[in-house]
Structure 1
Amino acid sequence: MVSEIAQTDNFNDRTNIKVVGVGGAGGNAVNRMIAEGLQNVQFVAINTDAKDLLRSDADVKISLNDASSRGLGAGADPERGSKAAQDHQSDIEEALKGADMVFVTCGEGGGTGTGASPIVARAAHQQGALTIAVVTRRSRSRDRSVPPPPIWASRTCARRSTP
């Protein structure tokens, strides 16, 4: 049953919701949400891989490029992903400005998603937005040659996002 307030013609929800895809998996999730027609949210893609950003349909794209990566990604190194996000902190904060709620989506185990998503979550939290992380872990059955992502990555995201 739909609430009475949602049925009125002049109902105007002014909640500012942003969905931020960090890294390749996060960017893929954002593209999927856009393709499925999710509306009334602003989509942001953040990546160290320039080619992934070119394929993004997000409203806002933030390239975490630096001289060492040259837009080729973080090389599955979370420290590089974290440093890249710290170097672009002001761009991230600007993209999150005015948000009431921020969903951060990423894949755990890669360099950008694992390293940069805690920086993004902290920035959203510090701006007063309700911050929710949706993290995907790589399936071992998908690629047995790749070791499972470290458990510490989840704990790090939670720990780093608190002020």
Structure 2
Amino acid sequence: MKVYLPTWFQIKMSDSITDGARHVFTMIKNSRYLPKRLLKVVDPVIQHNAYFAHPENLLLSMLTDENLNVRKIGLQRILKAREKTPTAETSVRSFLLPKLNFNATKYYEMIDWSSTVVSPPPVLRNVSNAVLVSSIDNQLSIGQSNLLSFPCHTQAVERTVKLVTEASKKFA
């Protein structure tokens, strides 16, 4: 109750794709009070479902952070990743979840950036470097500009989970 429910309300209040990494971190942070025997069950589930802890999604959260320094670090990482990533990709990239740091004190510390391959967020593919830089320099969050108005979770997902649960009960 102290883990799932507060996170559920947080998602309902802040449902942008830019908030996804912060939601994963909230789930981790709120679960730390659990006994070790329960953490052995909970942590692998969080790890397995931590798609918003992928660097691409962490970078989106960093770009919209209240702290200017965090936004600047996010911008630097995106620009560096764009330099390394060819514009005309010839293969499909692998979306591998990085190992989570369950002892992180900030959401952007959930992964080891030095051992993780960082690719630029695809949702920003049509946003120029100049627009990103000006958004950061003017202390305007890119998330406030409707460029990233995608939800991190939708009612449709909840309906599908319910439907799959009901269907699985019929075959159990």
Q: TM-score range by the shorter chain?
A: under 0.3
Normalization by structure 2: what TM-score?
Answer: 0.26
Question: Which structure has the greater CA radius of gyration?
Answer: 2
Normalization by structure 1: what TM-score?
Answer: 0.27
Q: Which structure dedicates a bigger proportion of its chain to helix?
A: 2
User: With CA pairs under 8 Å and 6+ residues apart, which has the higher RCO, 1 or 2?
Assistant: 2
Q: Which structure dedicates a bigger proportion of its chain to strand?
A: 1
